[in-house]
Structure 1
Amino acid sequence: MRFSRMAAIAATFVLALTLGGCATTPGSTPTSEPAVSPSADATADGACAYPTSPRPAAKAVEVPPAEPTVTGEVSVTIATSAGDLNLTLDADKAPCAVNNFVSLAEQGYFDGTSCHRLTTSGIFVLQCGDPSGTGSGGPGYSFADELDPKETYPAGTVAMANAGPNTNGSQFFLVYQDAPGALAPAYTPFGTFDEASVKVVQDVAKAGLADDQVAPKTPVDISAVTVAP
């Protein structure tokens, strides 16, 4: 679902948060561009489904391979104008989400984009992954959630933003402060980022919001996303 800027901010203080763009965001809920909801059972025999969504891709990109190309822990570095963010993705817990992120990263999808949303009350997240910078852009396809009903989102969590069940695309969020119970278990967590990286995002949050009250006042521009071999 999508919220107006002010509504999105208010939503963050309610029960479940949607993360923006094609998804829902915490704080207002993390959301992302609308997509056709695939079957909740997105995988069969280890394969992932990435059906086309109604909205065109915000940036030209190929659909990820149906068979995940990575397993186990995957190290990723996101180089940003605010500092490097070091992620460890869990391809065993969320194979399709990690497969998607790695595919997008290796295609340069995130390069030259900016993290478009920061929440500083209720939920504490930085949201990235939308080349359009509007909160409604995505890769032109969607994929299903990979969730446990008991999911929690402590500081250091990397999770998919969405616009409702099974509408994941390219937008993701980084949780930089604990807020127990603030986010419903509706966002696929697919990795973590280290303590030094949490500090980078916390410093961005301390500077507050830009004039639009949505983006961070301190820009977080992504120059490259590198997946370790």
Structure 2
Amino acid sequence: MNNQYQLEKLEILAEIEVVNPYTMEVEDVDLVVIEDAGAILLDALTRITKFETLDLGVIRAIVRRARAHAIKDIAGCLMEHIAFFAPAVNDIALYLDSITDGDFVSSFAAQLQSLCDHPASNIRAVRLWLEWYFSRHEELLNFPRIRAFVFSSKRLRPQARAAITMNNQAWIKDRKNQLLHYAFWDRRSILLAAQILSKDEREKWLGQIIRGESLGPMDKWMAKWVLNGAPDEFPIADGLPF
């Protein structure tokens, strides 16, 4: 039985061109896109759902190739079998994030919303990655079920990201005056969301934090970074607290 499983695994990997014939190891190489690439990947994905256990090498190979070439064909199957694919949820979330646009949301609205109530969403890693994914897309947050899912999170980070995505200033205004009452990661999430405040309010509040003595170096650096427009790059010599 095990030999049959290994043979089918290698057959699947060979079909999607990610197996090294010399080592039999999965390789992270580009898939040459052919006309029926989506159908090939979907067939491979469907076949591995019949395995008793999930092979992470195989599922990651399939999902990463679909992500690299924006192939949407496997999205429905991934969501339908999210519990089985849970160990690879990080790759799945990154894949869904990369292909999400208005058309995708319209086509998969029901399945996307059903993820909020799926038993797999009670798995900590699945919940974390779903929150990350949902919080980044306004089209998804427009669905009440998804919005409630994100804003009911026990963590403030996805809530802060969703507030930024939706330009929900009320979220940060409700929390900024209680900043010292939060744990450090939650404080930084609130500071991150300060970027959506009006310029005057943002400069006044963050300036007080930077000049004050109540918060530590990391929180002050975070405030300074947001005050500078939350740039992707920040000078290393500019007051990094580590």
Superposed pair shares fold, TM > 0.5: no
Higher-strand-fraction structure: 1
Q: Which structure's residues are more often helix, by fraction?
A: 2
Higher RCO, Cα 8 Å, sep 6+: 1
TM-score (norm. length: structure 2):
0.21
